[in-house]
Every structure is written in C-alpha cells, then in structure tokens.
Amino acid sequence: MSLNQILKDVEAEILGRRGDEIKPLFDSQVAAAEAHLASARVIGVGDTAPDFSLTATNGEYISLRDALSRGQVILTFYRGSWCNFCNAALITWQRALPELEAKGVTLLAIAPETPDICRDYKQAAGLDYELLSDLDNETADAYGLAFELPELAREMLSGLNTNVGDRNGNGSWTVPITATYAIGSDQRILLADCGPDYRRRVDPQDAIAIL
C-alpha cells in the first residue's frame, strides 16, 4: 500500500473517531503552511543541502556530512511523534529500510522534539533508523521549513492534551513543514518533496527510484 493511501486511512480513522469538528484542526495547519511557503526560501532540487549536527537518540551527534561520507542520504522532516500522520509515515519508511540499506543509503528523520521524546518514540515504534532532535528548529529553518502552528491549532491540540511547546522542550509551537529530501554524496539535492499538506507525502518507493 502506498504511503498516501496509508495517510488517507489515518485521516479517515481520525474523522471516524472525532467527527467533522476536527476538520478545522487539519485546515488551519495547512493554511499556515501554505502562507509560510508563499514567502519562504525553501531548499530544492539542485541546491546544496545545508549541513547540520544534531543529537541522536543515543546522545551522540550526527552530521549530514558524516552520513554522506558513507553514501547517499534520505532526510525526512516530521512535526513530532504527537502527529498521527507523521507516525504512519515513519513506520512506512521503516518498512523501506532494508531496500535503502541494500543501496547504501542512510535514512535520517528530524523533528523539533527533545532527544528523550525522540528516543522513547523510536523504541516504542521499533524504528531501526535514527531520529534527530532539532531543538529550536535551527535545521528546519536552514531548509526554509520552520513555521509556527496557528492559534486555532494550538487551542484544539491543547484540548486533546497535546502540548507541542512542552514536547519541543522550549515552549515553542514551531514545527517543520513535512518534507523529504534525497541527497547525493556530493551534498546536492536529488529529490525535494515539500508541500503544505502534511497528509500528502512522497512515497518511499518514489524516492528510492531516483537513487
């Protein structure tokens, strides 16, 4: 099953539980992302991928350049483990991991959540690739992806006992636009999937096909 079909099923399940009153939560976040992308300088195909050094779940630092020294990299930005859609996408990437490893490709996922939350989710979800903590969204901002969740989304998420600011460790409700990049060993972007709707994402097989 494709990732986008999986994400459609996630949306249907949420709507089945919450009803139409949950739709403003979806729509307000997409609108805020659209407004951000209208003026942001987002990294795209052919650009040099900004380097980073971020804390992994084992407490060590991982840099893009170090990962590229071992081969190509798939880099995927997710909003946080509070997001059902992000969780489904991360698990789908886990299923693609053997094929990526056979090609010598390193898979890395980046979120603004604290290292402890990243570690706990990695263990709970049974992920075998690394989740990196981008505190203060410095890396997301370097890629042009960081934006603040709108007030309506904050109110609705808080009503669902989801405090993104606490999970980010700094009180900030800033998250990245969901995006996936395939990066060549020369640090050039080969594929850039970046859209405002976090319910629609590139399928791992489409990314693998260009590597």
In order along its 211 residues, the chain shows pLDDT tens digits of 899 999 999 999 999 999 999 999 999 999 999 999 999 999 999 999 999 999 999 999 999 999 999 999 999 999 999 999 999 999 999 999 999 999 999 999 999 999 999 999 999 999 999 999 999 999 999 999 999 999 999 999 999 999 999 999 999 999 999 999 999 999 999 999 999 999 999 999 999 999 9
* pLDDT at site 44: 96
Closest CA to 192 of 34, 4, 26, 50: 50
pTM of the model: 0.96
Quote the pLDDT of residue 78. Answer: 98
Q: Supply the pLDDT for residue 22.
A: 96
Q: Parallel, antiparallel, or unpaired for β 73-77 and 106-111?
A: parallel
* Tokens at 26, concatenated: 């979806």
Asked if residue 67 lies in contact with residue 110, where contact means CB atoms within 8 angstroms, the answer is no
Choose among 183, 204, 187, 191: nearest CA to 44.
191
CA–CA gap between residue 74 and residue 92 (Å, rounded): 14
pLDDT for residue 205: 95
What is the predicted pLDDT for the residue at 209? 94
Q: What pLDDT is attached to residue 103?
A: 96
Q: For residue 77, which of 196, 179, 146 has the smallest C-alpha distance?
A: 179
How many CA atoms are closer than 13 Å to the CA of 89, on its beta-carbon side? Answer: 30
